[in-house]
């Protein structure tokens, strides 16, 4: 079976999004062009960033209305630390730190409004 190995987001400004995500995950982006960039993630995954205006076929959706990128972490202290860090970085917080059915969580937004959820890793 072939496993997915890239998350692809449509963005307004490829360079700004590559810088945002590179800083957020602590990795330098690769494959930069005016319309496309990638940021390597753990586990063989890659985050692709494609300029919305050049997507073929064209897309009509915007921002995080369609889904979320989830950062599953070990332990509540890590969630608390990321919450404080992302607030200090100036990320827009769409959902304050709270507890839902699956445990503590919060949601921040990237520059294009994509939802970034942090929650506990399954044990």
What are the structure tokens assigned to 66, written together? 């369609």
Q: What number is the average pLDDT over the span 74-98? A: 96
Please tell me the predicted confidence (pLDDT) of residue 57: 85
> Could you tell me which residue, 122 or 14, shows the higher pLDDT?
14
Say yes or no: 67 and 49 in one domain: no
For the chain, the average pLDDT equals 90
Say yes or no: 67 and 112 in one domain: yes
Say yes or no: 44 and 83 in one domain: no
Domain of residue 21, residue span: 6-54
Phi-psi region of 37 (alpha: psi -120 to 50; beta: other; left: phi over 0): beta
pLDDT value at 62 more than 80: no
Please tell me the predicted confidence (pLDDT) of residue 97: 97
Residue 93 CA: distances (Å) to CA of 35, 39, 107, 112: 27, 22, 6, 13
Q: How confident is the model at residue 122 (pLDDT cuts 50, 70, 90)?
A: confident
């Amino acid at each position: 079976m072939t496993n997915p190995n890239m998350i692809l987001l449509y963005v307004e400004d490829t360079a700004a999004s590559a810088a945002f995500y590179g800083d957020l995950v602590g990795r330098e982006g690769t494959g930069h062009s005016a319309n496309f960039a990638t940021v390597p993630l753990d586990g063989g995954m890659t985050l692709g960033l494609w300029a919305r205006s050049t997507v073929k076929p064209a897309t009509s959706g915007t921002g995080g209305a369609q889904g979320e990128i989830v950062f599953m972490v070990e332990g509540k202290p890590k969630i608390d630390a990321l919450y404080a860090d992302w607030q200090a970085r100036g990320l827009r917080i769409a959902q304050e730190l709270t507890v839902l059915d699956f445990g503590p969580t919060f949601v921040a937004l990237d520059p294009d409004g994509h939802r970034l959820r942090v929650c506990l890793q399954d044990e």
